[in-house]
Copies of this chain bind each other. A is one copy, B any other.
Amino acid sequence: MDVKKRISRRNFVSSAIAAGAAAAVLPVGTLIAEVANPFRSGYLLQDAPGLLPTPSWKDQGVENLTRSPHAKLKNIPVRAVTIHEGFWYKRREININKSIPSMHDLLESNGRMENFRRLIGKSTAAQSGPVYSDSDIYKWTEAVGFTLQSGPYPELRASANKFIDDVVATQLPNGYLNTYYVGDKASQIMLPATQTTGHELYNMGHYLQGAIAYYRGTGDPKMLEAGMKFVNDFLLPNYGPAPLKPIVSGHPEIEMGLIELYRMTGDKRQLDLAGYILRGDTRIELPAHRTIYMFSGTPFTERTKLEGHAVRAMYACCGATDYYMETGDETYLKTLNTLWNDLTASKMYITGGVGARQAGEAFGDAYELPNALAYGESCAAIGNMMWNWRMLAVTGDAKFTDVIERALYNGINSGMSLDGTLYCYRNPLAFDPATGDTIRNTWYDTTCCPPNLERTFASLPGYFYSTSADGIYVHLYDNSDLDWKLENGTGLKISQKTNYPWDGGVNLTVTPAQTSEFTIYLRIPGWSESAQIMVNGKSVSGAKGGEYLAVKRSWAAGDTIQVKFEMTPQVLEANPHVVEDEGRVALQRGPLVYCLEQLDQPNGTTIEDVSVNIGHKASDGFKSEFKPDLLGGVMVLQHEGELIQYPDSRNSLYMQYQQDRPKNKPVELTFIPYYAWANRDKSPMQVWTQLTKV
């Protein structure tokens, strides 16, 4: 496709100006799709002499960290890993065949694309959806962009192209692009108050992420070019430190977009603007409750705890980590570590979900982790995974991968129904249908979570491995083939054969293009206190849960690694400060957190009245059974418990304490993986179950 053709479709924006915009990127007439890196001309290396060229679009990962000086680990491209039949294969197939296509139709039927088409004369529909609705289109496009990195899927590509054509056509001559602040509302564009609540930059952040993923999936830069025009023509010349106009991140997201763009263009102004936003613009005065809620507007490096809107906080942390990877500013790393410790010591659900409070979709106080009322927005769990992915890149520390896995297998995976058509906004850890809540829904007017889940599952292959200067890190385990290269250019294939997470054994076959010495860092999950590792049949010592085991040797084609993790069910208790979990335990097996659904228990068993009998050795007494026909195939855990018998007064709200209790009744309890809950008839569910008092 040539620029002229693209311009001819921009029938709303004056084509003369549009041509001018395109010219700022590339000379008119250049066949953009044929250029490996169209952005080098005009931007790349201008402000960053001596940097390596960015890889071609095909070779860029979820993040393009190739030249990031403070990223110890570098992403591999999504397309470098093919996931085969197994745990994630099913989820990803459904994502491609059901979720993404049905979300396309829902975005259409709910008028989200009409918001664009109205502006280019293709629709007369009224504006629909909240102020951040544009971002849903962009996240969906990002999901397609990642999907196209795993295969051609021409229908998805055609659908996305249609969206992109209409989206890009709405760009104003000055580069601004947004469907909400139009007409009467155009006077509010980028006013401080609008930036604070209007999500213009949030939308553009998602636009950039979507455009970049789509470019990496297809090589088609159309959407990306328009995003660059927004950034380079509208944002950079007008917003920033005085004498430019003030800027604030009402909902952090633009930081990630700007920095990922910088990683492709080398245009340091994009990085600098992200840094300026992270520092907070003092000219926009905001009340404390607002900057807490936004997790922005004040210097990021002055933050000492996680608070406010959870997704905003997680995205801000992502952006700040990205900023650190490019700048090496240690004050950021120090703050990030402080916040991470705050998160994992007192504010994260055992599912990896974050953001306890419904009010403000916010972090609660330390240890404020209610179960039935848990907010645990799917987007926040995804933000948690994205942030830990970045911290992992900085450090290579497996503690971050543990959080990624915990969130991915539990609090994120729970967010989409097994059939791929229903989504959770909230991910509570206990549920009673009597409340009238419906947790899984086809559509939300604020439909941020569904396409967020879709883009996450679509990008999953990119999270399996990273490279480092001395070798390769294995982060995730599932049946898969890696076809990539070490940082020194040596080709490397790794195949994984496993029944993980149902089984703890993984067989890896390593095939370097030529025999060479490098290190394979094998992740030993934190839940596996130790692990048995054999290389070519010989035991390797030193495996420790929560660390990467470095296996440095001369690797030759066909070398094998056998890994065996501990899969004994684990009985976990929470810090006693978590009041709702007091006297309760949660079960975990491998990376999977388990729960009770009432419909799996014997008749007459109300799960809130049961306790589980844990003996002196907590791992005793479990029966594990894989049920291929249950919930798409799950390992079920069974354990003896008791149905607690209460005094007759139990129907009162408050009653005299009675020391003498009726004798409890024995009952066999059946636990299923948390991610699979609420996929059958509505039934009470709980993750934390009372412990029998012995």
Contact = CB atoms under 8 A, between A and B. Distances in A.
Interface of A: 344-346, 348, 350, 357-359, 364-366, 368, 370-373, 430, 432, 434-435, 570-580, 582-583, 585-586, 608-609, 614-616, 618, 644, 646, 650-660, 690-691, 693-694
16 contacts: A345-B653, A346-B653, A365-B434, A368-B372, A368-B373, A370-B373, A430-B579, A572-B656, A574-B655, A575-B650, A575-B652, A579-B608, A582-B690, A615-B659, A618-B658, A657-B691
A411 to B, nearest CB: 13
A653 B614 CA distance: 20
Contacts of A358: 357, 359
A576 B650 contact: yes
A653 B576 contact: no
A242 to B, nearest CB: 29
A165 to B, nearest CB: 35
B579 A371 contact: yes
Given A345-B652, A435-B365, A659 B574 contact: no
Given A348-B653, A575-B651, 11 more contacts: A344-B653, A345-B652, A350-B654, A570-B656, A571-B656, A574-B653, A575-B653, A575-B654, A576-B608, A582-B582, A583-B583
A371 B580 CA distance: 10
A297 to B, nearest CB: 19
Contacts of A574: 653-655
Contact of A571 (B573, B653, B657): B657
Nearest to A364: B373
Q: 3 tightest A-B contacts by CB?
A: A359-B359, A571-B657, A365-B435
Nearest to A305: B436
Contacts of A656: 570-573, 618
Contacts of A614: 657, 659
A426 to B, nearest CB: 12
A573 B348 CA distance: 30
Contacts of A580: 579-580
A657 B653 CA distance: 31
B432 A365 contact: yes
B582 A583 contact: yes
Nearest to A659: B616
Contacts of A582: 582-583, 690
Given A345-B651, A583-B583, A573 B657 contact: yes
Q: From A430, A434, A658, A659, name the one whose CB has the most chain B CB atoms within 10 angstroms.
A: A659
Contacts of A694: 659
Contacts of A345: 651-653
B585 A657 contact: yes
Nearest to A371: B579
A615 B435 CA distance: 37
A493 to B, nearest CB: 37
Contacts of A655: 572-575
Nearest to A608: B577
A121 B659 CA distance: 69
A655 to B, nearest CB: 6
A568 B640 CA distance: 41
A150 to B, nearest CB: 34
A409 B13 CA distance: 69
A659 to B, nearest CB: 5
Contacts of A615: 659
B372 A579 contact: yes
A162 to B, nearest CB: 33
A231 to B, nearest CB: 37
A652 B655 CA distance: 35
A456 to B, nearest CB: 23
A324 to B, nearest CB: 25
A653 B576 CA distance: 9
Contacts of A578: 653
Contacts of A364: 373
Nearest to A360: B359
Q: From A358, A373, A434, A578, name the one whose CB has the most chain B CB atoms within 10 angstroms.
A: A373
A618 B659 contact: yes
A593 B582 CA distance: 23
A582 B582 CA distance: 8
Given A432-B365, A616-B659, A654 B608 contact: no
Given A580-B580, A652-B575, A660 B609 contact: no
A616 B659 CA distance: 6
Contacts of A575: 650-655
A364 B435 CA distance: 9
Nearest to A690: B582
A36 B686 CA distance: 65
A632 B652 CA distance: 34
